[in-house]
Structure 1
Amino acid sequence: MSDRHVDQVAARVHTIVSDIFRSLDHILASVETCYHASSSFTCADLVAVRPEIFACLSGKRDVVAGAGVIVAPGVLADRRRWLEWWQAPSEQDPTFLDVDLDPESLDFYDYTAAEWFAVPERTRHRHIVGPYVDYGGTDTYMLTFTTPAEVDGRFLGVVGADVRAARFEALLLGVLAAGPAQITLVNGEGRVVATNSPRLPAGSLLLDPGPDRRPLPGLPWSIVTSARDRAISPR
């Protein structure tokens, strides 16, 4: 595997990721504007953010399955917790994701414990989680992209997008297939994000990454160029 091909794959990965985060930046800017404009930040203020959320969903309908704002506890004046999260069913208008945010409920959804929320809160940096099976939403493999929302040092929550792992891989197939050998994009746990091998489905755990593992700067992923086709079940 030539360094040139690895460079091409790395560049394509960074382009796709940057494009997704660019859409989130538009939502983030809208959140910050609403926060500054409100004397008492409430759920009603977040309605003004929906056009940017819907624009992200419509502009990237073939890739993004859901997007929105997940508010840190205590930020809103009228709700302790809140998800302004919208999903994009195929060829349908966005639908609001209604989850149980009552801590006393058996079905309580404590999103503050999720990696995609907790890591940006701690680091104040962008984060990517996955691939993982979204059992609570679409039951498909997802990558979750989040970026922290912060105003004057106060953490407001995160802005995020759920990206279909299959579609993310499809965006890479052209450059992946251009090389003569196997090349696989894996996360920090060794799970397959994308590959040109039909024997390594997304989410599989690569058992033998081998020595040729190149980390991607600024991303929690690496490119593996000499692994054997051995993986365990993705579930």
Structure 2
Amino acid sequence: MSDRHVGQVADRVHTIVADIFGSLDRILASVVTCYRASGSFACADLATVRPEIFACLSRTNEVVAGAGVIVAPGVLADRRRWLEWWQAPPEQDPIFLDVDLDPDSLGFYDYTAAAWFAVPERTRRRHIVGPYVDYGGTDTYMLTFTAPAEVDGRFLGVVGADVRVARFEALLLGVLAASPTEITLVNGEGRVVATNSPRLPAGSLLPDPGAERLPLPELPWSIVTSVRAGVGHGVKR
């Protein structure tokens, strides 16, 4: 194992993640300001948060596929549930994601049961979910980054961003390609987030669940390493 290359990958992962959460922090600050300025926090008030949502989508072009605010039930004065969520199709203006929030409907979307909402609500800490296939939106592998929104002890909901796994992996390509070691970033379930191995597509399960892992501080991910096929034997990849 090359500690230097593993360290470079770990540093790069933390930099990318910090940048994404940095954008979410700006949305979060806008939500808090909106809540404090509103006499009766209502759906229409969230329009003041949209500039930061759109700025996040613009700033993280092609990396973040969607971003916004998911409000906890009962927080808004005029809506029991609400997603102020906007998607960013390539080379298009943001599009509002309209989902069925009627609990009496067959298509009801109970977002409170999703880990990306439930975990920050319980822990009041940032969370990352995925990779998973976003069947309801883009039909591609996604990571969902969320952070809790809280004011004076009241949980308002979460701010979040959907990140395309392919783009996340592309941001790591430079440090991954430079490593003579096979390096794979996996989540807690052993699913591949990013790798320099052509044998392991993103979202697949690591073949050896017992492989030694190096946990990344403050992230639900680990790095797994092994000798890279063909390295040192004159085999071109």
In structure 1, give the amino acid aligned to 2:137: G
1:13 matched to 2:7? The reply is no
Asked if the contact 2:131/2:192 (under 8 Å) is kept, the reply is yes
**Counterpart of 2:60?**
60
Q: Which residue of 2 aligns with 1:25?
A: 25
Deviating above 6 A after TM superposition, structure 1's stretches of 4 or more consecutive aligned residues are none
Asked whether the 8 Å contact 2:181–2:228 carries over to 1, the reply is no
- Secondary structure of 2:106's partner? coil
> Structure 1 CA distance, aligned partners of 2:186 and 2:201?
11
Structure 1 CA distance for aligned equivalents of residues 40 and 226 of structure 2: 56
Q: After the TM superposition, which residues 97-108 of structure 1 pair with which residues of structure 2 at under 5 Å, given as runs?
A: 97-108=97-108
What's 1:163 paired with?
163
Secondary structure of residue in 1 paired with 2:175:
helix
The residue number in structure 2 matching 1:232 is: none
In the TM superposition, residue 212 of structure 1 has moved relative to its aligned partner by 2.9
* 1:133 and 2:166 aligned: no
Match of residue 199 from structure 1? 199
Structure 1 residues 92 and 65: CA distance shift in structure 2, 3 A: same
Q: Aligned partner of 1:98: which letter?
A: D
For residues 98-123 of structure 1, give each alpha carbon's deviation from its aligned partner in whole angstroms, at most 9, with x where no partner exists.
00000000000000000000000000
Answer yes or no: is 1:86 the counterpart of 2:86. Answer: yes
Question: What whole-Å deviation, never above 9, does each CA across 1:74-112 have from its counterpart, x for those lacking one?
Answer: 000000000000000000000000000000000000000
* TM-score normalised by the chain length of structure 2: 0.95
- On the 8 A contact 1:67/1:162 being kept in 2, the answer is yes
Equivalent residue, structure 1, for 2:143 = 143
Whole-angstrom CA distance in 2 between matches of 1:197 and 1:2: 16
TM-score, normalised via structure 1 length? 0.95
**Distance across 2 between alignment mates of 1:209 and 1:134:** 25
CA distance, structure 2, for counterparts of residue 181 and residue 13 of structure 1 = 17
1:172 aligns with 172
Contact 1:74/1:80, CA 8 A, preserved across alignment: yes
Distance in 1 between the 2:72 and 2:149 partners? Answer: 9
Deviation for aligned residue 1:226: 2.2
Shift of 1:128: 0.1
The aligned residue for residue 213 of structure 2 is: 213
* 2: CA distance, partners of 1:228 / 1:173: 15
Per the alignment, do residues 207 and 66 of structure 1 end up closer, same or farther by CA in structure 2, a change over 3 Å counting?
Answer: same
**Residue 228 to residue 178, structure 1, CA distance change in 2 (3 Å):** closer
Q: CA deviation at 1:189?
A: 0.3
Deviations 1:135-185 (A, max 9, x none): 000000000000000000000000000000000000001001111121100
- Which runs of 5 or more structure 1 residues have no equivalent in the other structure? 230-235
Q: Distance in 2 between matches of 1:139 and 1:171?
A: 21
CA distance in 2, matches of 1:227, 1:180: 8
* CA positional deviation for 1:207: 2.2
CA RMSD across the alignment: 1.2
| 1:55 partner letter | A
User: How many pairs were matched up?
Assistant: 229
Q: Which residue of 1 aligns with 2:2?
A: 2
